[in-house]
Structure 1
Amino acid sequence: MTAQLDPRPSLGAPTTLKVTQTRVIRSEWTKFRSLRSTNIALLVAVVLTIGLAALICGVTAAHWAHADAGERARFNAADRSLGGVHISQLVVGVLGVLLITGEYATGMIRASLTVVPKRLPVLLAKLIVFIAVIGPLMIASAFAAFFVGQALLSGRHIDVAISSPHALRMVIGAGGYLLLVGIIGMALGAVLRNTAAGISALVALFFVIPPLMDLLPNSWADNIGPYLPSNAGDAFWGSPEGAHLSALKGFLVLCVWAAAAVGAAAIRLSTHDA
């Protein structure tokens, strides 16, 4: 009697799945949406963007009758309704830092890089997931802030339509600016691999160094200040009055900052162990 072998594979036999960029993206999406801190940070960013717009525009409307001629001449309704962006950028930037440094703190990054030994697909997947979520959400929040703010300003007839000059560019630009801030924060987290260091670097870059430029000689401040990421961002999405750069140049400068930060993160990830 001869034994016959069953050509069908055993149901319990292990299967090897090929590592692809799509599967890495799915893995990063699972990690992104399963973190409670991520959902809280997103909610805070949205609330600040819209809530501060309502507060600022409500106060402006209430005190409009007492505003002097100079204040009225400088008033920009679209810019006023996007005032919350100056605060929510910190939340989005910190979220970007935490999405990287949190894995280093828990040691999860080692498991990720063991499964994906080429490493760079992990960084790319994180960026794709971050852009896919933060981009639409922040642009939608900027639109909501604009319309809420204009509704409050309409009582004093000082509101503007989305079709008015610069309004649409400012709203979309504000959402895009928040996304780029988050990307820079994520890259800083990947380079520094420490939450405190990453957040400190982010705060210094966007909130500490720009005011310090006023202490430098005018020639230095005029040649360096406009190219800092926060000032370039203001030129990109803010009111055109008083901007040192055009909106397009501001956008390009900000993109260069983001690209340089991501490039540094890629080099750090490729050349140093987790």
Structure 2
Amino acid sequence: MTAPTVPHAPAPAGRHRFAHAARMEWIKLRSLRSTLWALLLTVAGMIAIGVVTMANTKVPSAAKAAEFDPTNNVLAGVALGQLVVGVLGVLVVTGEYSSGSIRSTLAAIPDRRTLLMAKAAVYGALTLLVGEAVALVTFFAGRAALADGVPRPGIGDPGVLRAVLLSGAYLGLIGLLGIGIGALTRHTASAIAALVGVTFVLPAVIGGISGTTVAKFFPTMIAGNSLAVAKPVSDMLSPWTGLAVLCLYVAVVLGAGARLLARRDA
């Protein structure tokens, strides 16, 4: 991704600096074609996966009826959404370093912590909004695709609305995680490799070795087995515990990224 060249005026001193930085980041973010295409891919991919998954969902056997959770099935596309949103979050930071436009950005906003906060606030708000919207649309579209005879989840059923909303919030958190990893590495390839490793590779490897004991603390496992479930899954984190763990990860990564960003040269 090539960051656009946006003319920057020096930020006013004092309490307006964050607002100035946020406006600047919003202008840059919306001017990139990759932002629109990535978010459209997230929306289309999640809806398509949810509909296909529900269309192929069969009536559960009597032995599995108690554990049947179609809400979890319809939100299967979160796995694709997190990859796209996370990678775009990485590029929001590393794209400026690869293009060299970070110098003009820092000239306008010398306070690097404020700059990273503005990037995180703008991108986090955007991905949260998109995430919640697509999660709700996916739920209703997937519900409509269920075959006759398959129990249909209702948005007012116990745990359903919470599962849908937390799945949307998860995309916003993964977007912030991408911002933080990008700030830590400042290199696109290594940041994307770290993101994919944490969300996809390590959970699979560790899960194969130790089961859910350790793997349940990784983001993807939390999303699929804690947040996006209407019925609790044994040996996994509860939904609110999983959300708290994810928020802690984001806070740590963003904090470390801000610290390194302030200490290193552009």
Q: Relative to structure 1, is the Cα distance of residues 271 and 80 closer, same or farther in structure 2, using a 3 angstrom cutoff?
A: same
Would you say the 8 A contact 1:49–1:141 is kept in 2?
Answer: yes
Tell me the equivalent position of 1:18: 12
- Among 34, 50, 53, the alignment partner of 1:53 is 50
Alignment of 1:8-87 (within 5 A): 18-19=12-13, 20-60=17-57, 64=58, 68-70=61-63, 72-87=65-80
Whichever residue aligns with residue 99 of structure 2, its letter is T
Matched, 1:187 2:180: yes
Q: Relative to structure 1, is the Cα distance of residues 164 and 154 closer, same or farther in structure 2, using a 3 angstrom cutoff?
A: farther
Matched, 1:272 2:264: yes
Q: Relative to structure 1, is the Cα distance of residues 49 and 31 closer, same or farther in structure 2, using a 3 angstrom cutoff?
A: same
Q: Relative to structure 1, is the Cα distance of residues 23 and 202 closer, same or farther in structure 2, using a 3 angstrom cutoff?
A: same
Bigger drift between 138-147 and 74-83 goes to: 74-83
- Report deviation, 1:255: 0.6
Identity over the aligned pairs, expressed in percent?
36
- Report deviation, 1:110: 1.2
- Report deviation, 1:30: 0.3
Tell me the equivalent position of 2:128: 135
Matched, 1:208 2:198: no
Q: Distance in 1 between matches of 2:51 and 2:98?
A: 37
CA RMSD of aligned residues (A): 1.9
Whichever residue aligns with residue 237 of structure 1, its letter is L
Alignment of 1:152-231 (within 5 A): 152-153=145-146, 155-217=148-210, 222=213, 224-231=214-221
Q: Distance in 1 between matches of 2:36 and 2:190?
A: 23
Q: Distance in 1 between matches of 2:206 and 2:23?
A: 43
Bigger drift between 50-59 and 234-243 goes to: 234-243
Bigger drift between 233-242 and 78-87 goes to: 233-242
Please identify runs of 4+ aligned residues in structure 1 that moved more than 4 A: 67-73
- Report deviation, 1:228: 2.0
Tell me the equivalent position of 1:251: 243
Whichever residue aligns with residue 157 of structure 2, its letter is S
Q: Relative to structure 1, is the Cα distance of residues 17 and 150 closer, same or farther in structure 2, using a 3 angstrom cutoff?
A: closer
- Report deviation, 1:71: 5.3
Q: Mark the structure with the bigger radius of gyration.
A: 1
Would you say the 8 A contact 1:104–1:193 is kept in 2?
Answer: yes
Tell me the equivalent position of 2:88: 95
Q: Distance in 2 between matches of 1:157 and 1:126?
A: 44
SS in 1 for 2:151: coil
Whichever residue aligns with residue 52 of structure 1, its letter is I
Q: Distance in 2 between matches of 1:109 and 1:196?
A: 18
- Report deviation, 1:214: 3.0
Q: Relative to structure 1, is the Cα distance of residues 215 and 54 closer, same or farther in structure 2, using a 3 angstrom cutoff?
A: closer
Q: Distance in 2 between matches of 1:114 and 1:17?
A: 9
Give the unaligned 5+ runs of structure 2. 1-8
Would you say the 8 A contact 1:226–1:244 is kept in 2?
Answer: yes
Give the unaligned 5+ runs of structure 1. 1-14
